[in-house]
A and B are shown apart, each in its own frame.
Chain A
Amino acid sequence: MGNGTHLGKVRGLGASGHGSHHWLQQRLTALANILLVGFLFVSLVRLPLGDHAAVLRWAANPTVALALMLMVVSVFWHLRLGLTVLIEDYAHGEAARLFALVVLNFYAIGGAAYGLFAIARIAFGGGAPA
């Protein structure tokens, strides 16, 4: 193993064996997104969105709440993969790239947690009364 260039350090080590991991996860979450975001889209178009009580009743339904939770996980997982590629392509310099990836991970995990917590509040009825 050389100690010079990045290429020199990895030359001769062979494939990492993890190359398809990102690719496969992106496809699996994409497939889940088609179903789950499709469900959200149809629901949003059909719901009386100005009526808080009606929307809350819909979201508190156990099946809907479960679908929304799965959707949050799938969507934030998928967007984390997608934005990672964006950063890797456009953020130059190791410091900038590392910083952007840290921000992205905080956003993806924090956003997902916020969404899951909001759905839990609605489903378990601990939120403000309708």
Chain B
Amino acid sequence: MTVSILHRVSGDGLAIVGACMFLWWLGALAAGPDAYAAFVACVWHDPAGGAFHQVTNILGKIVLVGLTWAFFQHLFSGLRHFVLDTGAGYELKTNKLWSTVVMISGVLATAATWLYILAGAL
């Protein structure tokens, strides 16, 4: 049941926050170096380091980590739904096992991704 709710929560999060972030990034990329630099300064790191951007940089990273988790959670949970669609995996123990696997994998994949990113940044 938790996995089912998380599928909806992560999906809606990706649909609204994720899609808007992607369009913002894509629009800035198309608009040119200045617009792109403004996007990066707002979301990730501002070399000038204004107080407002220090706050949005923290928020940006929280949103990006959240989106990473939502992506993996929705992906793994969606794969689980593909299996359930075939009519398999409805036995209580099997169902509980894969629900747990989906949730743990979502967190682990998110952690692995950000460790990889941070390792590259250092």
Could you tell me which A residues sit within 8 Å of B by CB distance?
27, 30, 34, 37-38, 41, 45, 49-50, 52-53, 55-56, 59, 68, 75-76, 79, 82-83, 86, 111, 114-115, 118-119, 121-122, 127-130
Contacts and interface: CB of A to CB of B under 8 A. Distances in A.
B66 to A, nearest CB: 15
A118 B29 contact: yes
Contacts of A79: 11, 14-15, 19
B9 to A, nearest CB: 10
A53 B33 contact: yes
B98 interface: no
B101 interface: no
Interface of B: 8, 11-12, 14-16, 19-20, 22-23, 26-27, 29-37, 40, 44-45, 71, 75, 78-79, 82, 85, 113, 116-117
A118 B35 CA distance: 13
Contacts of B33: 52-53, 128, 130
B40 A50 contact: yes
Given A34-B75, A115-B26, A118-B30, A52 B36 contact: yes
Contacts of B117: 45
A76 B71 contact: no
